[in-house]
């Protein structure tokens, strides 16, 4: 494989409107989308990155293209769809945390299909990163995820998979079936603890790892929020990398920041333990500001936090 990138991600990006103050009807414009957040995080850690997606031929699509270019993300494989809009979402904050409202039905990214997307970058990267959200938004987008995985595997690239389980997008039975089929095709499985409990039917960490391995997972990193992350490679016992305590302002996108930062360090040659420790620090820093993208730290900021 002739590697051109360290990390290539596939999925849907959206323009974000984040409620600045729970008591006021004012929203701060930002950006989101799980795999887009992850690839930007990887870029800020110094990785060579590209994004596979589709945006509308509209103002919001141009905003996303400008964002990626400003963040050093190769956009040569981002398609444009003049017949569909770019997705939007709103974040509201309340006593129970943050909630999301999406305007994404029929979006340009949901209309992705293998035969119309240039997936060649998936065959020119150390890591391809995909997510369950991209599989849930439409059947053709799900097909595109599997086609990209096949392209990466054919070129001996590695595949990471965050299930990012969203039961508002698909029922649990269908989500579990698709996610389990995908686990077997990937090298790195990146669920959160809540997602793993829903998928595996248990909150016991060793049992979750056993469930993932039974479905073909090689390396598993179980993101556990403020507690840190459990991790293990094939055959090893799960280890906990504790996270440093932070006074979180907004946890939107923290798991995506973790994913991108982890992949950037793995692509740079770090051990899994060191990469998880680094990703913990990056994710913690990303909660100190509002929105999914703006607070993502740079490599220098993460190194400073690690001491």
Sequence-separated (6 or more) residues with CB below 8 Å from residue 129: 7, 8, 9, 10, 35, 38, 39, 159, 160, 161, 162, 259, 260, 263
Residue 235 falls in which region: left (phi positive, over 0), alpha (psi -120 to 50) or beta: left
**Coil/strand/helix, residue 90:** strand
CB 251 within 8 A of CB 258: no
Catalytic site includes residue 256: yes
- Can you list the alpha helix ranges (DSSP code H) found in 5-95? 34-44, 59-70
CB 45 within 8 A of CB 303: no
CB 21 within 8 A of CB 90: no
- Can you list the alpha helix ranges (DSSP code H) found in the chain? 34-44, 59-70, 132-136, 139-154, 172-183, 193-200, 205-214, 254-267, 272-286, 299-306
**Coil/strand/helix, residue 279:** helix
Q: Which of 194, 256, 259, 270 is catalytic?
A: 256
CB 11 within 8 A of CB 131: yes
Catalytic residues: 256
């Amino acid at each position: 494989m002739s590697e051109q990138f360290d990390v290539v991600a596939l999925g849907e990006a959206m323009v974000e409107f984040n409620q600045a103050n729970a008591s006021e009807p004012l929203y701060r414009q930002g950006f989101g989308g799980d795999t887009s957040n992850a690839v930007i995080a990887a870029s800020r850690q110094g990785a060579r990155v590209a994004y596979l997606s589709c945006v509308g031929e509209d103002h919001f699509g141009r905003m996303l293209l400008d964002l990626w270019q400003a963040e050093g993300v190769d956009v040569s494989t981002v398609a444009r769809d003049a017949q569909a809009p770019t997705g939007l979402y709103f974040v509201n904050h309340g006593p129970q945390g943050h909630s999301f409202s999406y305007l994404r039905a029929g979006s340009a990214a949901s209309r992705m299909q293998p035969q119309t997307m240039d997936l060649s970058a998936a065959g020119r990267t150390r890591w391809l990163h995909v997510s369950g959200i991209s599989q849930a938004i439409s059947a053709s987008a799900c097909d595109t995820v599997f086609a990209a995985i096949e392209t990466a595997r054919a070129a001996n690239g590695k595949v990471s998979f965050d299930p990012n389980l969203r039961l508002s997008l698909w029922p649990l039975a269908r989500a579990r079936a698709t996610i389990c089929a995908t686990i077997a095709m990937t090298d790195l499985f990146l669920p959160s603890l809540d997602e793993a409990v829903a998928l595996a039917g248990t909150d016991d960490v060793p049992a979750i790892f056993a469930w993932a391995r039974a479905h073909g997972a090689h390396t598993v990193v179980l993101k556990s929020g403020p507690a840190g992350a459990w991790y293990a490679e094939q055959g090893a016992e799960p280890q906990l990398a504790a996270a440093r305590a932070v006074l979180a302002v907004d946890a939107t996108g923290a798991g995506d920041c973790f994913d991108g930062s982890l992949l950037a360090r793995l692509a740079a040659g770090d051990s899994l333990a060191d990469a998880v420790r680094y990703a913990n620090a990056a994710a913690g820093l990303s909660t100190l500001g509002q929105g999914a993208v703006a607070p993502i730290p740079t490599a220098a900021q993460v190194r400073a936090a690690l001491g």
